[in-house]
Structure 1
Amino acid sequence: MDRLSLNQRTTERWSVAEAVDGCVRAGIGSIGLWREPVQSCGVAAAARMVADAGLRVSSLCRGGFITAFPGPERDAALDDNRRAIEEAALLGADCLVMVVGGLPPGSRDLAGARARVADGIGALVPDAEAAGVQLALEPMHPLYCADRGVLSTLDQALDLAAPFAPSSVGVVVDTFHVWWDPVVEAAIARSAGRISSFQVCDWITPFPADALLSRGMMGDGHIDFRYFRRLVEAAGYDGPIEVEIFNADLWAADPDEVVALMRKRYEEHVLG
């Protein structure tokens, strides 16, 4: 249970202070923070809250969205990622999660978008290394390829990470995004030494109208979490296990009740 981490989006209504207090009440030792609520209260203030509570920041989400064509928009995205790196360093986050972005408006050039991601990561690595921050590439289910993440498999993320030191560029193993992959076992084994974050939430059916809010609480869907936990542990990962859920019904519920349910389902479906 000491590895359980609450990703802030799971209790979307909570501010940083409320989420930190909620973790303390529930006996959860780690928290995954998001940039927008952190910026709302101030990065330095958020860092103090977390430190005073004795919590570990398992991740900061998110950097990325670096698929724009060369020009002012791409320059602004890279500058924003540099700010995100600074924020992750101030928070002492284990990693900065990189949701790399989808196709630029009007573009159908998927290979070009992926090439620009590789170029963007290369441009950001010196900043990350100087700050002591690991960039964590998150492959996303192909459902999100057009608008959120042109990296669709763990192998693609590993190929992109390969030119860099594992301390500089790692990968996120999010069960929601990788559970379907027929070669995921080999890909996770290949990830040894590069797993930045292990995230869990369920794939539920029927799919809701808003695909972004399609994540479910562990046990409500189709993913074998114990199996994936054993795979990442066999690859050497022993860090936090972060629960990140985007779900309208859970967001509308009492956050303390959501956290209590999360602890129960984590014990039932992830541990053991």
Structure 2
Amino acid sequence: MSAHPRLSLNQATVKHASLLDALDATRAAGIGAVGLWREPVADVGLEKACALVADSGLRVSSLCRGGFFTAPPGPGRTAALAENRRAIEETAALAAAGAPGSAPVLVLVAGGLPGGDRDLAGARERARDAVGALADDARAAGVVLAIEPMHPVFAADRGVVSTLGQALDVAEQFPAEAVGVVVDTYHVWWDPDLPAQVARAGRGRRIASYQLADWVTPLGPDVLVSRGLPGDGHADLAGISALVEAAGYRGDVEVEVFAHALWDADPADVAARTAAAFAASSGVRR
């Protein structure tokens, strides 16, 4: 079995699988790359995780996630920056362990408003300052910090950076080899300015990662886990893929779906279903 050569299975799609089981399921489905998450890596330790990745023969397309650095100056912010520096080191090590073509990309989710805070503009500014504090560390490690805009419904609690344009406003203040953006269809499919912003990202060589998930309705009580495999929902994934292709992105494309129905299923089955859905509905060129 062989899947689309640019498909990567993001570990969030098989969230309850161990790192080894996720790698095995990815490989069994003929998928050549995997997007890793820090928690399952931490479960086995970085050294063993690198060994498992090396043994799998898979490319590493990204590590999720850093960020959550909107706290005001103080111990919480200091701790968040230290944690992000550890994530940078992990990203470099895991990408080095992966097969040729692995990408040292650390996905950043800015974080929401600190408790009791209503200053959205201030939180965005602190997120920008945090990226600035980390950019030199990333560049020295050969890692790209990839700012992921999140759907506005998450602005309060998870991601104050809501549009691709806002992400680019931050990224463009730093060298492209250190700071880029994530285009995640689940979060940006609705944006009327998306074509212009994807083109802008392409001109600056800022697209560090491209992720696919569909927007399905009705939404469940937890919007975060109301996602679908490509083709299951309302997003024009083929259209967005065409924009990203036209912008010059040729890297791996992750399917990252938060959904209890997938998490409760057999990881091997989910990986096979992901490969089939991607082939049918992603619009990604080979």
TM-score, normalization by structure 1: 0.98
Is the Cα contact below 8 Å between 1:176 and 1:200 reproduced in 2? yes
Residue 221 of structure 1 aligns with an amino acid whose one-letter code is: G
> Is the partner of 1:27 in helix, strand or coil?
coil
2:53, 2:266 → 1: CA distance?
22
The within-5 A match list for 1:101-250 is 101-192=111-202, 193-250=205-262
1:271, 1:74 → 2: CA distance?
40
Identical amino acids, percent of aligned pairs: 58
1:65, 1:109 → 2: CA distance?
16
2:275, 2:59 → 1: CA distance?
17
Is the Cα contact below 8 Å between 2:106 and 2:146 reproduced in 1? yes
Runs of 4+ in 1 over 3 A off after TM superposition: none
Cα deviation, 1:203-262, whole Å, max 9, x if unaligned, reads 000000011111111111101111111110100001011000110111111211111111
**Of residues 58, 67, 78 in structure 2, which corresponds to 1:55?**
58
Residue 264 of structure 1 aligns with an amino acid whose one-letter code is: A
1:21, 1:164 → 2: CA distance?
37
Is the Cα contact below 8 Å between 2:184 and 2:210 reproduced in 1? yes
RMSD value, Cα: 0.9
1:81, 1:140 → 2: CA distance?
19
Provide the residue aligned with 2:29 in structure 1. Answer: 26
Residue 198 of structure 1 aligns with an amino acid whose one-letter code is: Y
Provide the residue aligned with 2:280 in structure 1. Answer: 268
1:130, 1:218 → 2: CA distance?
36
> Is the partner of 1:199 in helix, strand or coil?
strand
Is the Cα contact below 8 Å between 1:94 and 1:196 reproduced in 2? no
Is the Cα contact below 8 Å between 2:26 and 2:268 reproduced in 1? no
Tell me, which stretches of 5 or more residues in structure 2 are unaligned? 96-102
Deviation at 1:84, TM superposition (A): 0.4
1:270, 1:109 → 2: CA distance?
38
Cα deviation, 1:3-27, whole Å, max 9, x if unaligned, reads 0000001011211111111111111
**Of residues 239, 253, 261 in structure 1, which corresponds to 2:265?**
253
**Of residues 99, 119, 131 in structure 1, which corresponds to 2:109?**
99
Deviation at 1:166, TM superposition (A): 0.9
1:270, 1:255 → 2: CA distance?
21
2:75, 2:35 → 1: CA distance?
31
2:245, 2:50 → 1: CA distance?
29
1:229, 1:47 → 2: CA distance?
31
2:64, 2:277 → 1: CA distance?
23
Deviation at 1:94, TM superposition (A): 2.9
> Is the partner of 1:191 in helix, strand or coil?
helix
